[in-house]
Structures are given as C-alpha cells and as structure tokens.
Chains A and B, each alone.
Chain A
Amino acid sequence: MTPRMRIPLLLAGAMVVTAIVASCADPVHDQLVESLGPEDPSIPEGQYHRAGQPCTACHGPEGPAKTQFSLAGTIFWSGGVAQYSGSVIGVNNAVVSVEDALANTIQVQTNCVGNFFVTPSTYTPAFPILVGVFEGPGNQYTARMATEIGRATSCAECHFDPVNYDTPGHIFLTGGAPPEAEVNANSNCPVDPNLADSPTAALP
C-alpha cells in the first residue's frame, strides 16, 4: 500500500475512534454535575458538604465522586414563617427510615447538617420505597412521604428549591419555626448547618 492510500484509511480510522470515544460520554450527566457549581469554600469536601443537593448525581455509578451511595439526601428544619427567606437548618440525628418493595428496611441517622447517606454494600433498595423521617423524644417530629419513591436515589432529585409546579421544595421536618432547643443543640457542628448562609444556597 502506498503512503497516498494509507492517508484516507488512517483518517477514516481516526474518525471511527473519535466517534466511539465521544459516544462513551454522557452529556446529560456531565451537565447535571456542572450545574451543581463549585464547592462552598467554607465547607470541606466530606460528609457535611453540599447539603440539599442531589448527592447521587456525583456519588452514583457515573461518578465523579469516588464513594457511591445507594440513597442519600438532606433533612431540614423548616425555615420558619417565610419558608425560603429565613434560615434553612439541617436536622441533626434525625432518623431516616426506609422500607423497600421486598419489605427490607434500613434506618439511617443524619449528621449535623442534615445529610444522610447509604452505601450499596450496606443496603441497595428494591424500588419502589417508602420513607419516613423522625426526630426527638418519642419521635416528636415526624414526616412521612406522601408518595412512594419510584427510582430516585437522591432526595433532591425531586426536593429542591424553590417550591414550584414540579417540586415540593426541600424536605422539612416541621411546618413552623425550627425548635430553638434542637437548633442550639446543633451548635457544635464543625460547619454552619444553615443552608441559607451558604453561597451555593440557590443551587438545586
């Protein structure tokens, strides 16, 4: 084969390889990750970061996070009367109770910003699942989901800010103002548990 013949074949081969490599990317997932914006500089990457965001956008099978979650989300106290102009404080030590279609259950506690997560090795639910959240003595504060979850693995896939035709807003444990004693008890949190103080608060 002469060099002149090789060139078109090499070009065709390069085009095929380029097409295959390009088809391996998922632009929808990439855009979702991109839409979450940068980290809040005041909160290091870890269990307290990105409260209220769709955790498994990054902590899912497509990454880019190294750890993978089978379920994750954030629980907040109500922001008070003006739901979204007031504080949006994470609930510490709330119990998130999950029951899946095979009646397998798990209970997970939230950390001080309200984040909770479950790894696939601990529990991978068979959808649909039913979820309730409980906190306080005798489960004084209780919120149960009105619907089952069909397949979402992050609360914030559906529960994001602000309330609109397609979202009920964040998950709030109370309808009124946050209970002061509970919020004060959360003052040892290593990061600010008030989402409203975060520069990324407006992000989904």
Chain B
Amino acid sequence: MKMNARFVGSVTLAMAIAASFVVVAACGPTPDPNRVTNIYTPDNAFEEYAGGGAQVGVDGFLAARCATLDCHGQIGRPLRLFSQDGLRIVDDAGNYPGGAPETESEIFANFTAAISIQPELTSEVFAGNYDPHVLLLLRKPLQLERHKGGPVLQPNDDGDTCLTSWLSGNGVDYTACGNAAQYK
C-alpha cells in the first residue's frame, strides 16, 4: 500500500516538473522585429536567376516545373513561387493564372524565396564554402530530404545542373535551365 502511495506521488511530481518546463519554455524572449539576416549573393545572382530574352534562367525552370497551383504556387509555402500560369502576386495589375506574363516583381519575389529558405547557408554556398547540395533547394527535389512532391530531379539532370551552376557562382547554365523547363 505504501509503495502505491509513493508511485502516485512520483507520477504527480513528474507531471508537475514537466508542466513547469512547458511554462518556462513558453516564457521565452519576445522576437526582435528589427532583427535582420543578411544574405550575400554574387552581383549577378538575380540576373542569372531571372534570365531574359532567349535565355531561360533559374526562374524559367522553377516557374514551369515547381510553381503549379497545387505545389509551390500556394501562398503559404516557404518556397512560394509565382508564375504566369500559377499563383500571381496581388497588386494593382490584378493578374490571374494564365493571364499576363510573369512580372519583374514576381520574378524578384521568387528569387527572394529561393535564397531565403536557408539564408546563412545560401550565403556560404554562393561564397564557395559549401557544395550547393547542402541546401534544401536541391536536397528536397532530389529527395535527399523528405519532399511531398517526390523526387522531381535526378542527380546531374538538367534541373540539378541549372540550380547547381547558379548556386556555385560559376555562371548559370542557361541551356540546362531551358531544357529543365520543358515538360518531358
């Protein structure tokens, strides 16, 4: 009988300790709204991302293959991608999927989304300190990390080459990006 009383007491004590941990953890400091995380990219990172003219950049590939409305063309996604046939940025233009071509604002928003998933690590990759494949931007589509959309890239395929060439800072492979943007 005494052991049972001790057991109940121990359980109660353990629950009280666990509850106190939760309460203490919930009282963490308020996030600083003025905190800024710098992301360092090469000067031409956005130009290469955007492409232009006959050259399909990284955006052309991501917009075609990743930005559909049922995947990354959704407003709540960490990697949220706008595109002509997918999600449109809400502004005075009032664009809708399938309407006007992708705007400069949408391309820049996509660029920002792509480099902001892991800001510190992305800076390190652009600086040449790490292989681009440490980034979720490649690890997810290569299914090295869980990706709800499954393995959408294969090692060294056009999509992998497009992203890797851009992130390595050695000049984006526009041909690979153009090929990767095509439906096969």
A150 and B70 form a contact (CB under 8 A): yes
B96 and A127 form a contact (CB under 8 A): no
B88 and A149 form a contact (CB under 8 A): no
Q: A147 vs B69: C-alpha distance in the bound complex, in angstroms?
A: 9
Instruction: Pick the residue among A5, A12, A158, A165 that contacts B4 (CB under 8 A).
Output: A5
Residues of A within 8 A of B4 (CB): 1-2, 5
Residues of A within 8 A of B70 (CB): 149-152, 157-158
B95 and A147 form a contact (CB under 8 A): no
Q: Which positions 58-106 of chain A face chain B at CB distance < 8 Å?
A: none
The A-B contact count (CB < 8 A) is 73
Q: A152 vs B86: C-alpha distance in the bound complex, in angstroms?
A: 14
B68 and A148 form a contact (CB under 8 A): yes
State the main secondary structure of chain A at its contact with B. Answer: loop
B124 at the interface (CB under 8 A from A): no
A5 and B8 form a contact (CB under 8 A): yes
B8 and A167 form a contact (CB under 8 A): no
Shortest distance between the CB of B91 and any CB in chain A (Å):
9
Q: A107 vs B78: C-alpha distance in the bound complex, in angstroms?
A: 36
CB-CB nearest in chain A for B96: A163
A147 and B96 form a contact (CB under 8 A): no
B150 and A158 form a contact (CB under 8 A): no
A168 and B68 form a contact (CB under 8 A): no
The interface size bin for chain B is: 20 to 34
A165 and B71 form a contact (CB under 8 A): no
B98 and A8 form a contact (CB under 8 A): no
State the main secondary structure of chain B at its contact with A. Answer: loop
Q: Which positions 139-178 of chain B face chain A at CB distance < 8 Å?
A: 148-150, 152
Q: A8 vs B5: C-alpha distance in the bound complex, in angstroms?
A: 12
B88 and A165 form a contact (CB under 8 A): yes
A130 and B5 form a contact (CB under 8 A): no
Shortest distance between the CB of A136 and any CB in chain B (Å):
22
Instruction: Pick the residue among A8, A127, A128, A151 that contacts B8 (CB under 8 A).
Output: A8
> Chain A: residues with CB nearer than 8 A to chain B?
1-2, 5, 8-9, 12, 127-128, 130, 146-152, 157-158, 163-169
Q: A9-B11, A157-B70 are in contact. List 19 more A-B contacts (CB 8 A).
A: A2-B4, A5-B5, A5-B8, A8-B8, A127-B150, A128-B68, A146-B85, A146-B98, A147-B69, A149-B68, A150-B66, A152-B69, A165-B96, A165-B97, A166-B75, A168-B96, A168-B97, A168-B98, A169-B96
> Chain B: residues with CB nearer than 8 A to chain A?
1, 4-5, 8, 11-12, 15, 64-66, 68-71, 73-75, 85-90, 94-98, 148-150, 152, 183
Cross-chain pairs A/B with CB under 8 angstroms, 13 sampled: A2-B1, A2-B4, A128-B68, A146-B85, A147-B64, A147-B68, A150-B66, A150-B70, A151-B149, A152-B69, A165-B88, A165-B95, A168-B96
